[in-house]
Amino acid sequence: MAQLKIAGMTCDSCASHVKKALEDVPGVQSADVSYARASAQIAIETGTSRDALIAAIAGLGYRAALVDAPTAPPRRGLLDRVRNWAARGDKAHHNGGGSHIAVVGSGGAAMAAALKAVEQGARVTLIERGTIGGTCVNVGCVPSKIMIRAAHVAHLRRHSPFDAGIAATPPAILRERLLAQQQGRVDELRHAKYESVLDGNTAITVLHGEARFKDKRSLAVRLAEGGEREVRFDACLVATGASAAIPPISGLKDTPYWTSSEALATDTIPRRLVVTGSSAVAVELTQAFARLGSRVTILARGTLLSREDPAVGEALAAAFRGEGIDVLEQTQASRVAHSDGEFVLTTAHGELRADRLLLATGRTPNTRNLQLSAAGVAVNAQGAIVIDKGMRTSNPHIYAAGDCTDQPQFVYVAAAAGTRAALNMTGGDTTLDLTAMPAVVFTDPQVGTVGYSEAKAHLEGIQTDSRLLTLDNVPRALANFDTRGFIKLVVEEGSRRLIGVQAVAPEAGELIQAAALAIRAKMTAQELADQLFPYLTMVEGLKLAAQTFTRDVKQLSCCAG
């Protein structure tokens, strides 16, 4: 008879897997495995290898040690490290060994946290109530950028700055085929980057179901296959994302409105579309549908991208109007009705009629059904989980990351936060610095921003100086015959250190990372101006904009250093 202590099991199903693995070991007659006691009683034949028993369990991603194993000096073998950890409580793999971490969600923050926690030696139970992969790959970043790119190609076939020499040919839009192509790539990426990664990691157990907190150290999971399971944890990450916010407009709930999810999944292009909202999602989908053939009107309560420098919204509105998009700023719908396949929106400026209505007025954290109060986790007035710079909540055992918190709603922020949360849940102490966080809006021209705008800097008492360079001063833009937009630099008065950049340009998403690195390096405007930039690139506009602090770039030769 052999008795093992087993670490890492989270449920009775785990125990069943361990039992089967043990009984497949040559010489094992029977195995009685208990999740509750974290142990196994094994009837074995004489001469049966104890190392084989431990290896069978380690192969499933758990850790085991013989209860009667004598204390031995540390050895380099894998099985010896496992024995030492389980028998003496040592923390293997950077202090994470032995801990059980629950992760609620499977998007960018959740996956980053789960993988990093496993690297640190922890065992992870990941809980997902819907489709593996979360918002970004399934109904957000990936499908939207595919649709936007297709719309950009359609637009260039219909109109470009080179039509005088390249005959334009209005395209036939076969939306159902574009949708199939889009969904095929989504399915491919979800499988490659999420499902197969989880399937191949034995240290991560995936539960399909909806989780809620029972208390400060446990979750109850209503399983999709039926029944309920309790998951106790040493630490937990909440990464449940957010959903489209639905504004309280009279009559709206009784209509078949779209959110971005339905808009991206449609196999038809509506003849008339009204978009409510002025955020990145609103403006991106507004332009995409317009370029694919819809007559689009966008209603902005204030201005387009109202949280950015006012010049950004002005430039984008001008570009939209130039493409025939109706931009109605300072406009809201007070009532919505739907009859005979038509939407009727009442505004202060009269009625609007459309075949489809797309709501893009922000996103609401998915926290309502988690019973966070049972775990002592605080939320703000919008339902977002309150966290510190280390992703810790008001419960020291529970962390949160991504769109369910008050962090900026970008998947790369969520993933970075998830990674750092995992390090902290396994004994580390790290934070997420967002002072040089780049952001991109994938319109045409694109919008790229990083650091402070002038207004935000002034709110924090920072005195600034700034320069705005229009793209007709950038050789790449001139060569492209497309000078829509600008590059604006904000520096701190006194130190002259670069603290913010706003760009509206066809390739703003590519140049903004260089700006982020310059801010991170605490470069001054002059230091940026002194750098070498390749000629006839859009990013050279950063150098030219920096030069405007001390000279008139209109008086320079094309590539003057």
Task: Tell me the C-alpha distance between 8 and 485, whole Å.
Answer: 56
Beta strands in 95-251 (DSSP E): 100-104, 123-128, 204-215, 218-223, 228-232, 235-238, 242-244
Task: Tell me the C-alpha distance between 125 and 204, whole Å.
Answer: 6
Whether residue 236 lies in the annotated active site:
no
Q: Which of these is catalytic: 9, 236, 404, 437? A: 9
Q: How many CB atoms lie within 10 A of CB 153?
A: 11
Q: Which of these is catalytic: 62, 194, 257, 452? A: 62
Tokens 């396949």 belong to which residue? 341
Pairing of the two strands 228-232 and 218-223? antiparallel
Task: Tell me the C-alpha distance between 214 and 373, whole Å.
Answer: 9
Task: Tell me the C-alpha distance between 274 and 328, whole Å.
Answer: 11
Whether residue 452 lies in the annotated active site:
no
Rounded to the nearest 5 degrees, what angle is found at the Cα of 342, between the Cα atoms of 150 and 352? 85
CA distances from 143 to 31, 185, 262, 264 (A): 49, 8, 11, 7
Backbone angles phi, psi at 457, to 5 degrees: -65, -45
Pairing of the two strands 356-359 and 272-276? parallel
Rg (CA), the chain: 28
Residue 64 CB contacts under 8 Å (≥ 6 apart), including other chains: 4, 5, 6, 7, 40, 53, 54, 57, 58, 82, 86
* HEC string for 287-346: HHHHHCCCEEEEECCCCCCCCCCHHHHHHHHHHHHHCCCEEECCCCEEEEEEECCEEEEE
Task: Tell me the C-alpha distance between 74 and 222, whole Å.
Answer: 43
Whether residue 14 lies in the annotated active site:
yes
Q: Which of these is catalytic: 136, 147, 425, 538? A: 136
Backbone angles phi, psi at 512, to 5 degrees: -70, -25
Q: Which of these is catalytic: 1, 14, 194, 404? A: 14
Q: Which of these is catalytic: 1, 35, 111, 141? A: 141
Task: Tell me the C-alpha distance between 239 and 403, whole Å.
Answer: 7
Task: Encode 247-265: b = buried (16+ Cβ within 10 Å), e = exposed.
Answer: eebeebeeeebbbbeebbe
Residue 220 CB contacts under 8 Å (≥ 6 apart), including other chains: 211, 212, 213, 214, 228, 229, 230, 231
Whether residue 62 lies in the annotated active site:
yes
Q: Which residues are catalytic?
A: 9, 11, 14, 62, 136, 141, 558-559
